[in-house]
Structure 1
């Protein structure tokens, strides 16, 4: 969710010098179902990345995390998968689809900079790198830049799925929807975003119409800043530090405020943006199949 400031570095440089790769991958594994696409598409990974940057009208972001995490920019693209997290299951599904390029919004190796040595001798990282190499899959993170689209594509994708586009201004996460109550709003969010369970603070019977939607994990300061500035009836967030925003909401209510809180979970709050990326990118890439895979909720609710 956090959006770094821009600076003047070349687009090619931020990809090539910052990439953390599992090793050079030769283009040898191609699913028979997609073998024809290698010749039909004729795009390399780097060409697709360059096209995205050009079409987005982006200024280069310094120290961006939007780099290659595996594979090669020279690989010929046989298919693209968009997702939130390039999980083991997503990697296997991509291989079955014959797609060798995954565009993921969040880290592949469990830390923000995708440093594979964040924990030394991490056996899970090593096995994941081996799987990516086996299927010759290139992973590129699309985090800093997608949030800089106008409007923010992650937020836009969620608002679209929530059927709130008529109330969306684009330059603000706060919007006014037709009056409802918190219980009905919770059910609408669950149904629209296909979420089985939500965490909520508030009276389910209380009226609400003013919503602030902050997907991902922008941090307690931003969440509380918007709550104080925009005075929403309901603050909807991806995830939070429980000792920050949740305690602020609890005390605010104990002091007489009617502000409510809905916690979606990080994946569900931003996944609609990666789904919307297919709609945004597909018309710009003729001959390349782009598929969205929702990596789902890692938790089991007891």
Structure 2
């Protein structure tokens, strides 16, 4: 099967419709809109000239780091399906890197050329939904549903599409126990906690991106009596300050944070399980390759 056909089959398997209110750079209409084959995010990031090559294997990953590219070649695959950008900017523009003779860009490009690897980003389509029998409408956000599947948390899920993503945990769950579970199941180096590690957790959310202004998230936490925020980003001001003050006042609030890529990569790990069905081939090898924990932790003993 040609690489182009593999990509086409994947796109046809995914829901491919979004509420454009949730995506920057698109007109706000408030109704489901069909995604194009190519979006600002979802497109061939590299290797356009090799789309008609026979697919020798597919690697799923969050971010196509140099190590992931090397591993892809090592196992004999020539297609990477990633969730995030490859060249360190929104839209994966490369002219600015070429114009400034960026050394890292040149060396990474050389590797991809040498190995004849195609890189396709699957972001909007994957978030738009994959088939999920448990979901009321038959679809679930491919990243966060995969996150719940990999952690064994689907029984705690309260919604299947979009974020905030809700979990109702059983009595006895704490920030510490959630952290240990995340680190162990997702093969991470560590975890950050805001507030007491022993904070009891019943209601948890994965919120929208925490990039500074957290007014809406704080209002939601207060209104819904959320105990734990499973943040992708940790910003020292606004949300983290609010959670710390709340915890000090005995209001049972905590943040458990493993990082943006570490959180969403669980969905790409889960993709390894359903991708053969999506691409209509059990003969093309499919393998998840972890981008690698972005953080190392040094703590006083």
Measured against the shorter chain, the TM-score band is 0.7 to 0.9
Q: Are 1:285 and 2:281 matched, yes or no? A: yes
Moved over 6 A (4+): none
Structure 2 distance, partners of 1:89, 1:197, is 20
- 1:76 aligns with 54
Q: Are 1:133 and 2:108 matched, yes or no? A: no
Structure 2 distance, partners of 1:68, 1:225, is 39
- 2:68 aligns with 90
Q: Are 1:55 and 2:55 matched, yes or no? A: no
Structure 1 distance, partners of 2:222, 2:43, is 35
> How do 1:246-265 residues align onto structure 2 when only pairs under 5 Å count?
246-254=240-248, 257-265=251-259
- 1:175 aligns with 167
Structure 1 distance, partners of 2:157, 2:69, is 34
**Does structure 2 retain, via aligned residues, the 8 Å contact 1:111–1:118?**
no
Which of 103, 128, 141 is residue 148 of structure 1 equivalent to?
Answer: 128
Q: What displacement does 1:46 show?
A: 1.9
Cα offsets for 1:165-194 (capped at 9, x unmatched) = 112131461121111233223222322322
Structure 2 distance, partners of 1:276, 1:258, is 32
Which secondary structure does the structure 1 equivalent of 2:90 belong to? coil
Structure 2 distance, partners of 1:243, 1:118, is 32
Structure 1 distance, partners of 2:289, 2:219, is 33
Structure 2 distance, partners of 1:113, 1:252, is 38
**Does structure 2 retain, via aligned residues, the 8 Å contact 1:64–1:144?**
no
Structure 1 distance, partners of 2:238, 2:39, is 27
Q: Are 1:270 and 2:264 matched, yes or no? A: yes
- 2:193 aligns with 200
Change (3 A) 1:130 1:223: farther
User: How many residues matched?
Assistant: 259
Q: What displacement does 1:76 show?
A: 2.1
Structure 2 distance, partners of 1:174, 1:101, is 33
Change (3 A) 1:223 1:292: farther
Structure 2 distance, partners of 1:260, 1:200, is 7
Tell me how large the CA RMSD over aligned residues is. Answer: 2.2
Q: What displacement does 1:206 show?
A: 2.7
**Does structure 2 retain, via aligned residues, the 8 Å contact 1:267–1:296?**
no
Change (3 A) 1:60 1:263: same
TM-score (norm: length of structure 2): 0.79
Structure 2 distance, partners of 1:281, 1:159, is 17
Q: What displacement does 1:83 show?
A: 0.6
- 1:233 aligns with 227
- 2:30 aligns with none
TM-score (norm: length of structure 1): 0.78
Deviates more, 1:255-264 or 1:289-298: 255-264
Change (3 A) 1:230 1:125: farther
Q: Are 1:189 and 2:182 matched, yes or no? A: yes
**Does structure 1 retain, via aligned residues, the 8 Å contact 2:230–2:255?**
yes
